Amino acid sequence: NAEFCETRYVDHLEQDCLPEEDPDNPGSILPNCGDWYLAEIEYGDQVCVNTGEDDECLQPANFNSAQCRDDPDPEDDWTDDCPDCDEPPLVDPCDANKSIAANFISTMISGNTSISTSFSAAKTNSTNGYESAFHIDHVSGVYSASTPATSNEGDTYSSTNINSSTVAVGHDHDASHAAIPSFFDAYSAGETAVSTNGAVSTDYVLSATASYALVVSDTSKFKAFSTIYNESYLEKDSNNQFTGDLDQNTAVAYDINNVGNDAAGLYIVKHAVDPNNPTSTEYAAARAAGYESALAYFLGKYDTGITLLKADANGTFQALHFTAYVSDIDPTYVVYLASPCN
């Protein structure tokens, strides 16, 4: 497995090195890594390198030189006891929180005409090019949903008129663009749960092509997560409005993008009739699979306390987790994929 570790070191050290010396800006990408003898890089792994005594290219002062960037023999750049290089792929278990989230959703929506009517209206709106938002209240043991009101990404939650009986909110996404919840949606769901002391713990994201739910299973975990990875990790446009994506200038986004791109690529290989020339439909499906896997990985790896669920063909919401696909040909090739907890 040493060769895999060396490849990642050579390819990604400059972009991904995260020095512990910069606590005020955790996760930022710095071209000059500072003290990177033990540096956190892609996938959050700890990569061990020696002190530079045996290889001048390991000395920070020489790192950006052309000779060192093109170091033909990285073999000596590694210690013999790099602990995490031999670790197995990351695991995202189908734990109790995921099971509780799925049961909570099932109890809320099963056989409920009010909710199904609201869902149907939101899905129809998703084909009309605009978002609409709704909320679900729980009064005297009965769940009821409001009629979806026209909204947009920035004010989805404030426009739903949350009250003391509200337990869930929801909105639609334009199915032709991004049916899957955005990273902004995940943050908003967590922040809403925290601000309501866990009362409003669920956000449905619906479209004509797919239906999802974000359930904040553990507000304490989201608080801990957002203390480190606050809203500065979300991308904003020129008008200072959230785009829904992660800030592309962070190592977190680099990590997540790699997962999404790998998952989309694997989808093409496994499902396209001609992987070298996928159709537009196959490409769109691969893109959706990549984004779904990236979000599941993000929520799990970074311990957000949020469970992602997706409705199956029968309308049953199943909790998702990320699993690792390991190539039979090259065991160092690992792709993380969103999978249902059955």
pLDDT in tens, 223-251: 999 999 999 999 999 988 888 899 998 88
Rounded distance, CA 288 to CA 138, Å? Answer: 33
> Which has the minimum average pLDDT: 40-54, 118-132, 200-214, 311-325?
40-54
Rounded distance, CA 58 to CA 78, Å? Answer: 10
pLDDT above 70: percentage of residues in the chain: 71
Higher pLDDT, 135 or 59: 135
* pLDDT of res. 152: 57
Q: Band the pLDDT of 24: cuts 50, 70, 90.
A: low
The closest of 316, 299, 32 to 181, measured between CA atoms, is: 299
Rounded distance, CA 206 to CA 121, Å? Answer: 10
Higher pLDDT, 108 or 153: 108
Higher pLDDT, 225 or 326: 225
Average pLDDT of the segment spanning 92-97: 93
Average pLDDT of the segment spanning 280-306: 95
Q: Which two tokens stand for residue 32?
A: 């000059």
| Cβ pair 337, 327 in contact under 8 A | no
* pLDDT of res. 88: 67
* pLDDT of res. 215: 97
> Strand 202-206 and strand 166-172: pairing?
parallel
Phi, psi of 234 (to 5 degrees): -95, 145
Average pLDDT of the segment spanning 288-315: 96
